Amino acid sequence: MFSYCVEPDTLEGLTWLSCYLTTGKHMGLYTSVITVLVLLAITAPVALLFGFGGATAARSHFLPLRWFGKGYSAIVRGVPDIAFFMFFVIALDQAFEWVRHQVKCPDWPDAIRQGNDFVVCAQAKLPLSTAPEWVHNTYAFFLAVLTFSIVFGAFAANVLFGAMRAVPQAQLETAEAYGMTRRQTFWRILVPQMWVYALPGLSNLWMVLIKATPLLFLLGIEDIVYWARELGGTVNARFTDYPHGDWRMWYFLALLVFYLGFTKVSEVVLDKLMKRLTHGQATAGGEAQRRAKA
Task: Identify whether 273 is part of a domain.
Answer: no
Percent of the chain exceeding pLDDT 70 equals 87
Among 194, 192, 187, residue whose Cα is nearest residue 166 = 194
Q: Which H/E stretch holds residue 118?
A: strand 117-118
Q: Model confidence over 183-197: pLDDT tens digits? A: 888 888 888 888 888
Q: Model confidence over 97-129: pLDDT tens digits? A: 888 888 888 888 888 887 777 888 888 888 877
Higher-confidence position of 82 and 292: 82
Q: Which domain holds residue 29?
A: 3-220
Task: Identify whether 247 is part of a domain.
Answer: no
Look at residue 6 in the predicted model and tell me its pLDDT. 66
Rounded distance between C-alpha atoms, residue 145 and residue 151, angstroms: 10
Look at residue 240 in the predicted model and tell me its pLDDT. 60
What DSSP string runs through 15-60?
Answer: HHHHHHTTSHHHHHHHHHHHHHHHHHHHHHHHHHHHHHHHHHHHT-
Look at residue 8 in the predicted model and tell me its pLDDT. 65
Task: Identify whether 287 is part of a domain.
Answer: no
What mean pLDDT comes out for the span 3-24?
72
- pLDDT for residue 284 is more than 60: no
Q: Determine the Cα angle at 252 with ends 241 and 265, to 5°.
A: 125
Task: Identify whether 259 is part of a domain.
Answer: no
Confidence label for 285 from pLDDT (cuts 50, 70 and 90): very low
CB-CB contact of 224 with 29 (8 Å): yes
Confidence label for 85 from pLDDT (cuts 50, 70 and 90): confident
Q: Model confidence over 214-250: pLDDT tens digits? A: 888 777 777 888 888 888 876 554 556 677 777 888 8
- pLDDT for residue 15 is more than 70: yes
Task: Identify whether 262 is part of a domain.
Answer: no
CA distances (Å), 117 to each of 21, 113, 163, 173, 221, in order? Answer: 43, 6, 45, 57, 23
Q: Model confidence over 196-214: pLDDT tens digits? A: 889 989 999 999 999 888 8
Neighbours of 110 (CB within 10 A): 8
Higher-confidence position of 131 and 76: 76
Look at residue 10 in the predicted model and tell me its pLDDT. 67
Residue 120: give its domain's CATH number: 1.10.3720.10
Task: Identify whether 280 is part of a domain.
Answer: no
Confidence label for 276 from pLDDT (cuts 50, 70 and 90): confident
- pLDDT for residue 60 is more than 60: yes
How many domains is the chain built from? 1
Contacts of residue 95, defined as CB under 8 A and 6 or more positions apart, other chains included, come to none
Q: Model confidence over 145-176: pLDDT tens digits? A: 998 999 999 999 999 999 999 888 888 888 88
- pLDDT for residue 91 is more than 90: no
- pLDDT for residue 42 is more than 70: yes
* Alpha helix positions (H), 127-247: 133-166, 169-177, 182-185, 191-212, 224-232
Task: Identify whether 266 is part of a domain.
Answer: no
Lowest mean pLDDT among 6-15, 69-78, 200-209: 6-15
Q: Which H/E stretch holds residue 293?
A: helix 284-293
Percent of the chain exceeding pLDDT 90 equals 25
Look at residue 237 in the predicted model and tell me its pLDDT. 45
Write down the mean pLDDT value for the chain: 83
Task: Identify whether 257 is part of a domain.
Answer: no
